[in-house]
């Protein structure tokens, strides 16, 4: 209840964005392979940002 108005950290926002892009990539993999690969690449770039924050 007390976490109701808690703001998300930058890491949480990046992780959600990564999950969203990976889901889109998976859904597009059956219909448009080129667009699917592009989404996967964008997701990997976000993962690099997440890993850079850990260091």
Higher pLDDT, 11 or 3: 11
Q: Give the pLDDT confidence score for residue 8 in this predicted structure.
A: 84
Tokens of 12: 């949480």
Averaged pLDDT for residues 39-48 = 96
Is the distance from CB of 50 to CB of 14 less than 8 angstroms?
Answer: yes
Q: Give the pLDDT confidence score for residue 20 in this predicted structure.
A: 97
Q: Of 29, 24, 22, 23, which Cα lies nearest the Cα of 43? A: 22
Q: Give the pLDDT confidence score for residue 1 in this predicted structure.
A: 56
Close Cβ partners of 18 (under 8 Å, ≥ 6 residues apart): 43, 46, 47, 50
Q: Give the total residue count for the chain.
A: 55
Is the distance from CB of 26 to CB of 40 less than 8 angstroms?
Answer: no
Q: Give the pLDDT confidence score for residue 49 in this predicted structure.
A: 94
């Amino acid at each position: 209840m007390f976490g109701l108005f808690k703001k998300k950290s930058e890491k949480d926002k990046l992780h959600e964005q990564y999950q969203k892009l990976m889901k889109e990539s998976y859904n597009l993999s059956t219909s448009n392979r080129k667009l699917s690969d592009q989404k996967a690449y964008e997701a990997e770039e976000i993962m690099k940002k997440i890993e850079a924050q850990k260091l």
